Amino acid sequence: VYCREKTGEGGTMKIMWCGTASLLLESGGTRLLVDPYLRPYDRTGAPFPAEEARTADAVFITHPHIDHFCDAGAFSDRPVYVSARGIALARRNGQDVSAMRELRAGECVSLGAFRVTAYRGRHCSFDAATVFRVLFSPRTWLHFAGALRLLSEAKRYAIPADEIFVLHFADGEKSVVVLGSAGMAEGIAYPRGADLLVFPYQGRAGMHREIVPFLDVFAPKNVMIDHFDDAFPPVSRRVDPKKFPQAVKERLPKAQALVPEMNVWYDVL
């Protein structure tokens, strides 16, 4: 079991899952916020920790989809690192872009205790089972107007599948790899052996099987999932993570598998 902050044990780097793909990382007095999404459609989970998130020194966006980027404007009084396409989409959708800084694949950014490196990633492709589940779900049809509105809003943040980053956070002692989506680009030498891999557990049926190639490529010491909550009903659902720990154990027997609670700090071990 991962140590929580209150234990006072573990390394200098800490991580908090704030729902969907939103993360806070802290080390040496520096805080970074990843993919802030205030979850306006989800009223069932813990509230987004907005006040704590506003203590972040900078914001990093893995990709400018609605559930990773549309609320970045709430943190526009600090640097927001995002792709050039993300800045263009933000401008088109009326967001404040004055604090946005273009981030490119292969670029490294040093901020306080952190060194952040961006790698080219790829968005996962939804499989037929996932698409059919949404299309034929009674919840979708009972809230059809809401589903159409949400899909229309999401369309305003459409991007090519390869316009996405894998982010590597390091503080000299610990390192964390954050995947914005469950996809990898071809020909990229991704960092191996990170202390923690954060894997988005959403998008396809059988995510416990989908994670296996990522465990092989990244070979992390430990694995945490995010994005498994019901972030935008009625076209989403919470993914049951019960098969995730066993999938990790079978591939990486020494690794710990963390299913995090929302808004709880964990030490990166």
**225: its two tokens:** 């999932």
DSSP state of 184: B
Specify the pLDDT at position 127: 79
Burial of 21 (0-12, 13-18, 19+ CB in 10 A): buried
Specify the pLDDT at position 152: 86
Residue 183 CA to residue 208 CA, distance in Å, equals: 14
Residue 122 near residue 171, CB atoms below 8 Å: no
Give the tens place of pLDDT for each residue, 60-107.
999 999 999 999 999 989 999 999 999 999 999 999 999 999 999 999
Specify the pLDDT at position 142: 67
Whole-structure pTM value: 0.92
Which residue numbers in the chain have pLDDT < 70? 1-11, 43, 131-132, 140-143
